[in-house]
Amino acid sequence: MNAIVGTPDKRSALVIGGASGIGFATARTLAAEGYRVVIADVNEEGAREAAARLGGEVTAIAMDVTDEASVQRGFEAEQGVHAVVDCAGLSMPGALTELELAHWRTTIDVCLTGTFLVIKHAGRQMADGGSITCIASLNARQPGTGLAAYCAAKAGVLMLVQVAALELAERGIRVNAISPGLVDTPLVAGAALVPGLIEEYLENTPLGRSGRPEEIADAVAFLASSRAGWMTGSTIDLNGGAHLRRYPDVVGRVKAMMEQAAP
């Protein structure tokens, strides 16, 4: 098996979805650890602003994970990258019987098909002995009302990671996932608008608080390093213990909010 490629002053990392939230924190952490970081995001302007904020050798490119040509171009421009982190994601909640097919497809396209495309082209272009880390979710293993598409997509990511770990092992490329719980990012900002939802979530988190993007970034840095050199096909549950209890009733909370707001 190949050794981990690259020295601390020459390693490169491609962080997809790096313009904000967990992705931005990851880009900042990897840059601080000596990586030459490329921030890729569907929001090209946001990616460039994020790169400018970090300075140094951090650069930015546009990448839409739902467009294979876009993903392919990004990886061809960054051939030989040592660490790939896929943070792209979104959630479009809705009860199963009410969920629009377009919303289902959008969620699957970004969260699952997008991950497939990232792994596919990372596997073609990245350096032997490198690392791919996919950001999954607590919902990959814990169901939540109103989150059918998101839960299904993230559960699929975990199995995709295991298959990729098998197929890329001969080149020494390790593929792992991190399943965060509630993290203070723009992605979950909408949840704070639903009365009682955040409180219910924290009641079911043994450590009693939400996570910080930097905590996820630290786990990514570990997985990308030689300290995790014998770790592949694995998932880190990083959620304050929330996977040990139950998920909030999203549909019930939203329904109660709408009933209260009705004239």
- Residues with active-site annotation: 150
Task: Please count the residues of the chain.
Answer: 263
Q: Is 106 helix (H, G, I), strand (E, B) or coil?
A: helix
Rounded (10°) CA dihedral 115, 119, 125, 129: 130
- Alpha-carbon distance of 231 to 249, in angstroms, equals 35
By CB atoms closer than 10 A (0-12, 13-18, 19+), residue 190 is exposed
Q: Which two tokens stand for residue 69?
A: 């040509």
Distance CA 83, CA 86 (A): 10
Q: How far is CA 146 from CA 26, 94, 138, 150, in A?
A: 29, 4, 15, 9
- What amino acid is encoded at 212 in this protein? R
Do residues 107 and 146 make contact, with C-beta atoms less than 8 angstroms apart? no
3-state secondary structure 186-203: HHHHHHHHCCCHHHHHHH
Helix (H, G, I), strand (E, B) or coil at 91: coil
